[in-house]
Amino acid sequence: MADASPSPKVALITGASRGLGRNTAVSLAERGIDVIGTYHSNKVEADSLTTEIAKMGRKAAMLQLDTGSVKAFDAFKDTFQKTLKETFSRSDFDFLVNNAGIGISGTIAEMKEEDFDRLIDVNLKGVYFLTQKLLPLIKDGGRIINLSSGLARFSLPRMSAYAMTKGGIEVFTRYLAKELGPRGITANTVAPGAIETDFGGGRVRDDPEANRSVADITALGRAGLPDDIGPMIAALLSDDNRWVNGQRIEVSGGAFL
């Protein structure tokens, strides 16, 4: 009797209800991967993603999580394990995409401590400890992708605190790759440039002057689109890229070259 076909791979994507996280979820589903996503507060958007992926013939589930609240991670892990078992018939998962993040701008002279702390909580501390919490559930041979930013390479006014958190993510990723190597788990950073989403109030998407400014400093002559990022992440998670590890890959169309 032939062996049963292997279970579809499962990805966990934080911040999956909108923007780059949503695009990544759809791109992975198009490649036959089932998706568990997190959302912060907009259940309507979250449910619409589940419906969209189901129409593609893949399984999906969306779980509420504030990735900046470490105290919520124990309960989230329990819910996540229950969802893996009941919806996906799995006790582990294959891909972790740490996408959720916030952007708060301000000059060094005016940055408020509470805003700085919120950036650290969501963009850095949350990523670190959520990954730690989920390490026992990631399948050996799995993958981790952490989202950084082009701003960790080049400097723009008012973005120092945000960029610091993303620089920390890039260092964290290299250490993940080193420590998880014995388990065959790779870890890489994807660093988007300026993308037309609602991130940061949707300025790049909705402000023509801001959009032109991005286009002017980009070799390919335009701002980025979500479709420039999600498929790239899906490609990086494919077996074709199994030997890419501990790397920072900027996806900016050639910004500030």
Catalytically annotated residues: 148-149, 162, 166
Phi, psi of 152 (to 5 degrees): -80, -15
AA letter at 87:
T
| Helices and strands (DSSP H and E) totals, the chain | 9, 7
161: burial class by Cβ within 10 Å (0-12, 13-18, 19+)?
buried
Q: Decide: 115 and 161 in contact? Cβ < 8 Å.
A: yes
Measured between alpha carbons, how far is 61 from 97 in angstroms, rounded to an integer?
A: 15
Q: How many residues does the chain have?
A: 257
- CA distances for 70 relative to 65, 96, 122, angstroms: 10, 17, 9
Measured between alpha carbons, how far is 194 from 19 in angstroms, rounded to an integer?
A: 12
CA-CA-CA-CA torsion for 98, 101, 106, 111, nearest 10 degrees? -90
